[in-house]
Amino acid sequence: MIGDEMSYGLVRASAKPRTGWGVKLIASLSLALYVLSFLLPAFKIVVDGRSEISYGYEAFVVSILYSFSPDGFTAFVPWVANPMLWVGSILFMRTRFASACVAGMGACAMAATLLLRDAESRHLLLMGYYVWVLSMVLFTVAGAIQVVWDGAEEKTAMTEAGNP
């Protein structure tokens, strides 16, 4: 290893992967949608025929607080998607794209539990929830594209060096 580069015969490939502008755009859009989801109506609560709309930031706080109640596990599982996405973002910034992609997939799975839990409650989920999930899906896509990109670049460098 020479400095920050690895040598493949006569061809040098950077040890730190380059992030394409398209991947950066998708990841930035993901972050923007994540923040926006906190400002949008996320879910509706109906009690005695009266409905009350809660925004994303309220859903975030209520979910973590409700998770301490006896039946709060159902609120905690989707909430875990948030720290999973945060960890994935840190991994992404540290160019650990495969790990970031795995964290993104975990975040998507945790967030989707609200959709899979019971069909009767789906009408209570509002735009903010779907934007929140979309932000995680886009983040995962950005990580996956970068992983594929890195694999193609590495294969090209090895092929050019005579190592198929």
Which pLDDT band, with edges at 50, 70 and 90, does 16 fall under? Answer: low
CA 119 to CA 163: how far, in whole Å? 53
Q: Position 141: which residue type?
A: V
- Neighbour tally for 34: CB within 10 Å: 21
Kindly tell me if the per-residue pLDDT of 121 is higher than 70: yes
The distance in angstroms from the start CA to the end CA of the chain is 20
Sign, Cα dihedral of 99, 33, 69, 48:
negative
- Asked if the model's pLDDT at residue 71 lies above 80, the reply is no
**Looking at the predicted structure, is the pLDDT value of residue 31 above 60?**
yes
What are the tokens at 112? 């989707």
More confident call, 5 vs 149: 149
